[in-house]
Structure 1
Amino acid sequence: MNHKIRALIHEYKSTITDEWMEEVEKFREDDYLQNISDTVYRNTNREFVDMLFQTMDRDKEQVKESISEYTDRLIQLGWPLNYITRGLQEFRKAAIETLNQKEEHRYRDVYDEIEDWTDEIVNIVVSHYSGTWENTVFLQRMALKELSAPLIPVFNNISVMPLIGTIDTERAKQIMENLLTGVIEHRSQVVLIDITGVPVVDTMVAHHIIQASEAVRLVGAKCILVGIRPEIAQTIVNLGIDLGKFPTKSSLKKGIEAALEMTSRQIIEINE
């Protein structure tokens, strides 16, 4: 940045800050900032604008480091990228208007200089936010794969696969892989697929479950669908989904009892 323009920005720092604080207060009512207290919001704004002024006196590597550290804190606190980009737009506007008013267009390259400066900061912020979120999403996907749909042996030749959460196409593939691998590994004769934790069973989810049961049958095991709540049963009927190819039970307990019978065993109560 031109050293004269940089000196002017420092000279009118107080005016620029006041105008900027007034403008960012106007989008304080946005939904994504509603849960942030007034004190935290004001302190964050003050820290934000101080950081912007400091970047003018640093080289590119120092600017990148300071902005990255600042955005890391905002990401950890759950502040959206939109807050920073709008804040930078308002800061650019406040700086340009202040210098033009005070200096009466003495420096006609004010706009270009400030535009280039703030654009560089925007690029660093967006790049850092994107990289951080991509890494977070990747780690979450890896964790989901590790925890998603394990096949748990509960008795000899009987295993349970509890399903929790929404089932999409990618997760259905993971379920299928875990199911077939687990059936062979545990030598399961009967597999209980428990959908108690699945909030919605639509045509796609039912299709994935039917595919899974067919795959189990092809490797020599049988499948029982358990955890069918009344609302899920009603949805299945209304959608015309045919689950008649394999047994269904309302609870895991009843499913285990059925699985024991299918493997020539049963639960017997012993009177003391």
Structure 2
Amino acid sequence: MDKPNQFVQYIQIHREELLNEWTEQIISIDDQKVSSIISDQMYTNICNEYINILVNHFMVQDKDSMENIIDYSHRLVQLGWGLGFIIDSLGVFGKILFKHMAEDSSEMEQMKFVWEYDRWISPINRELLNQYASSWQKTVNLQKIALQELSAPLIPIFDNITVMPLVGTIDTERAKRIMENLLQGVVKHRAQVVLIDITGVPVVDTMVAHHIIQASEAVRLVGAKCLIVGIRPEIAQTIVNLGINLNQIITKNSLQKGVEAALEMTNRKIISTGE
């Protein structure tokens, strides 16, 4: 009987014992408090799935085995398990397996077992961690893209009129995203008037004002008009104190007044119909 089958045979015979001990130990080392979010049964399911991967890998060793590793790694990312916790958990399983299999064995047999473990099981663990890192990076990139899109959305509110509400601080990277979304959105929505709402921007300094002026000028160059709305009194005072020139830009103190002005620019206006 070769060594992989020896591992498989032992794991299959003592599966319940190994699973219970492993689950109990990784819950006890959980300093991330994952256990407060997921149940003990979920821990058991995750541990049991890893054991399935080991057994299936040794018995099949085909593309399905790799797909199982990829799916398993992706699930760990979704559960929010950190890389350090996963490494520690795999280490705990190795120690438990070694303790059970090496019991009553000679020192030579124990050394041989360590070598075989490193030869057959360690590569699976390395591949699992590699796939985890890849899946985690993809998840982070997708989240980053989603946050970037949400950080500077361009919202059509009427035909040919769009609004870009800005919330939070504006740095160079975000200013670049604002510019891209503005230009793409003007073309996509065939906007004639764009309102940049800075009500949610806490601080307007020289750099922020420069980015807003650049965005406004870019909108004008593609054939649309730009209004800056939401200029609060303290923001207006800051702009004056900094000596920033907004003479070439239409400004309104609220989104409501900005919408009214945009409607007038597109030959429309709000009419009260009464009761």
What TM-score comes out, normalization by structure 1 length?
0.70
1:161–1:192: 8 Å Cα contact kept in structure 2? yes
Q: Does 1:97 align with 2:96?
A: no
Q: Where does residue 164 of structure 2 map in the other structure?
A: 162
Q: Does 1:208 align with 2:211?
A: yes
Where in structure 2 are the equivalents of 1:134-153 lying within 5 Å?
Answer: 134-136=137-139, 149-150=153-154, 152=156
Name the % identity: 39
1:151–1:178: 8 Å Cα contact kept in structure 2? no
Where in structure 2 are the equivalents of 1:20-35 lying within 5 Å?
Answer: 20-35=22-37
Alpha-carbon distance between aligned partners in 1 of 2:24 and 2:184, rounded to the nearest angstrom: 61
- Give the AA of the match of 1:110: F
1:20–1:90: 8 Å Cα contact kept in structure 2? yes
SS at match of 1:109: helix
- Give the AA of the match of 2:214: Q
Q: Where does residue 37 of structure 1 map in the other structure?
A: 39
- Give the AA of the match of 1:126: L
Per-residue displacement from partner, 1:135-183 (whole Å, max 9, x unpaired)? 4455556667888633637366xx3232356666455334323434555
Q: Which moved more, 1:217-226 or 1:83-92?
A: 217-226
CA RMSD of aligned residues (A): 4.3
2:165–2:196: 8 Å Cα contact kept in structure 1? yes
Alignment coverage as a number of residue pairs: 265
Alpha-carbon distance between aligned partners in 1 of 2:79 and 2:232, rounded to the nearest angstrom: 38
1:258 aligned residue (231, 238, 261): 261
1:193 aligned residue (196, 204, 217): 196
Alpha-carbon distance between aligned partners in 2 of 1:106 and 1:8, rounded to the nearest angstrom: 19
- Give the AA of the match of 1:27: I
Alpha-carbon distance between aligned partners in 2 of 1:122 and 1:168, rounded to the nearest angstrom: 41
Alpha-carbon distance between aligned partners in 2 of 1:4 and 1:38, rounded to the nearest angstrom: 30
Structure 1 gaps of 5+ residues are none
Q: CA deviation at 1:256?
A: 1.9
Alpha-carbon distance between aligned partners in 2 of 1:202 and 1:45, rounded to the nearest angstrom: 52
Q: CA deviation at 1:224?
A: 2.0
Q: Which moved more, 1:179-188 or 1:36-45?
A: 179-188
- Give the AA of the match of 1:122: N
Q: Where does residue 131 of structure 2 map in the other structure?
A: 128
